Structures are given as structure tokens and as C-alpha cells.
Amino acid sequence: MPNLNVAVIGSPEYAKGIGKKSTVSDITFYDVKRGDVTLSLVEPSKYPEKLASLFFSASLADMAIMVVEEIGPVFGECVIMMDCLGVSKGFIITKGYMTRDQLAPFIKDTVLESYRFVEDDPIQIREMLLAEAAKTRHDAEQPENSGSVAVDHFFDVRGVGTVVLGCVAHGVIRKHDEVKVLPQGLDAEVRSIQKHDDDFDFAVRGDRVGLALKGISVEQLDRGTVLSTDPGLVVSNDLSARARLVKYRLNPLKAGMVLHVGHWMQFEPARVESVAGEWREPELALSLQKGLAYPRGARAVLTHLEGGKLRIVGTLQLR
């Protein structure tokens, strides 16, 4: 079942013209299913008030739809977030008097420079996205041996028990897998797997899944919990990593600052313990109240919620 995860940014509820609303919280999902091809669209429904809402939506995305009604700090922050996360495929829709030429200087040298400008026609956009989704063929014959799911919602279902919603971040998750629940360090079993309300024996990277779990309660879960069979994942409260600050940031980072580190569906506060080296690419030591789960070499987004109009600091190369 080919699936495409699409962040829809810039116009609240624009996605309702493309798909059917499903899960609603600080991020809102809309689903499309045609035959065995599916779309999972997600909007940052609490942005710009909550930067985390934008991060979560963009972090899930294989592609993005950017709806631009005006050029301002919010648009700029969205461009920087997409660029930091490397969401390199997408569509741009202009509204009002906005034109491609007006936008060109503001997206130059960012991932949005490669986005296609398309007409404001949700039905036609749905068709284009379904065509893109159909190109994503999963290798069902030789899937990887391990994988991880980043959890974004969880709840208790009468007669079923604990159910989580999330996306397969890498590899494969199979029915009856024994998974580590991270960073909590607990264990659980995958009782069943659903993708867009159909039952499956396994799910692979990019699939949006609902998993029924055995051996864990909803009280033991959080947004950002990682379910994994990958023994190579790192879980740490202390990070030593090189940052790359966005070019628009004017001031260096300093010890004592409280930033947030975003990776998969985790968005955790981190205190800067030390800063060394060139200020635009500093070596940072960070301490977190809650452990971060990640594969070695992953890239995280660094933000400063008290940073005014520019809350995105840059990226962090995790070791």
C-alpha cells in the first residue's frame, strides 16, 4: 500500500478540500484512500502560537504544500523549518496578489526553490499527490530486519486496549514484534497493525499506522515515544553535537540558554551546558530532562521558543 505523508502549511483547513479529517489535536490529519494508494495530510493546527505544531507536521512530511497569502515572519519561519528538515519536494500555491516573482528572493537557496508552483485547485492537487504516492513502492519481499515507529497519538480502546498512532520512521515493524518503548525503557508487543483501517502483517518506512499494543498502558506513553526493534538506537539525556545555525540568526548561542531539540515526534527542552568553536557551527553540550531516542548520525532541529520572530536556531548533527 503506497503512502505519501504531506504537510499542508500556510492556510488553516486547506487540506479539508483534499482529504477527510481524521485525528485532531495540535496537528490535524486528513486521509485520502484510492484503491491501495493512500495520502496522509497533516496541518499544524496550533501554529504560529506553538512552534512545536509546525515542527511535528513538517517532521512527518515526505512532501509539503505551501499556501502563501503574504510574505512575513510566519512565512519565513515555515520556509526555514522546511529547509532545516530537508523537505525537498512540494507544491507552492499563491493566493491574493502574490506572484512567483515576488516569492523567488525569499525561497532562493532553500528546499522550496525546487517546489512546483501549482494552481489553487484542491481536487487537481489531490490527483497530483495520488500520482506521487503511487510512485512510492515498498519492497515487501525483502524488508529490513528492524524498525522504529514515532508515536504522535495514543488512547485506550474498549475491547482492544492500548492503541498508538504514528509513522514508521525507518525499517519495518511486524505483527507480534517485541518492541522497546523508548526513552521509557519498557517493553511491549505489537498485537496488530492497521494502515488506513485495513489490517496488515507489517509496515515499512513512511507508512502511517495504528498499532494495538500488549504489555503497556496509555499512562506509560507520551507524544514522541519511539517503539523500536532496532538495537542500534541511542537514548541519551546528554548530547554532544555540532550545530549549524541558520544564516538569519544574528547572535551566538550561550551556556545557560534553554533550547528545544526536535527529532521525529520528540520536541524536548535542552539546557546548553557549553559552547565551543566557530559561533555559526558550534560544538554544543546539551542536557535534557527526558532522554532523546535517535539513530546515530541523525539530524535534529534546534529551536529557541523565546527567540522572538525567529525561533528556529538551526540543525544539530546527532552522534
pLDDT digit string, tens, across residues 221-278: 999 999 999 999 999 999 999 999 999 999 999 999 999 999 999 999 999 999 999 9
**pTM of this structure:** 0.95
Average pLDDT for residues 89-115, to the nearest whole number? 94
Domains 147-228 and 234-317 equal at CATH topology level: yes
Q: What's the mean pLDDT when you consider all of the chain?
A: 94
The distance of Cα 262 from the centroid of its chain, to the nearest Å, equals 9
Residue 138 — pLDDT band, cuts 50, 70, 90? low
What are residue 35's phi and psi, to 5 degrees?
Answer: 65, -125
pLDDT score, position 143: 60
pLDDT score, position 97: 87
- As to burial, measured by CB atoms within 10 angstroms (0-12 exposed, 13-18 middle, 19+ buried), residue 285 is middle
More confident residue, 144 or 104: 104
Architecture of domain 147-228: Beta Barrel (2.40)
Residue 135 — pLDDT band, cuts 50, 70, 90? confident
pLDDT tens sequence across 267-312: 999 999 999 999 999 999 999 999 999 999 999 999 999 988 899 9
On the question of pLDDT at 139 being above 50, the answer is no
Residues ≥6 apart with Cβ < 8 Å to 181: 187, 188, 216, 220, 221, 225, 226, 227
pLDDT tens sequence across 185-219: 999 999 999 999 899 999 999 999 999 999 999 99
Architecture of domain 234-317: Beta Barrel (2.40)
Do 276 and 255 contact (CB within 8 A), yes or no? no
Domain-wise residue ranges, the chain: 3-134, 147-228, 234-317
pLDDT tens sequence across 149-175: 999 999 999 888 999 999 999 999 999
What is the four-CA torsion angle of 108, 114, 115, 118, rounded to 10 degrees? Answer: 100
pLDDT score, position 39: 96
Architecture of domain 3-134: 3-Layer(aba) Sandwich (3.40)
pLDDT score, position 305: 96
On the question of pLDDT at 140 being above 60, the answer is no
Residue 142 — pLDDT band, cuts 50, 70, 90? very low
Average pLDDT for residues 51-69, to the nearest whole number? 97
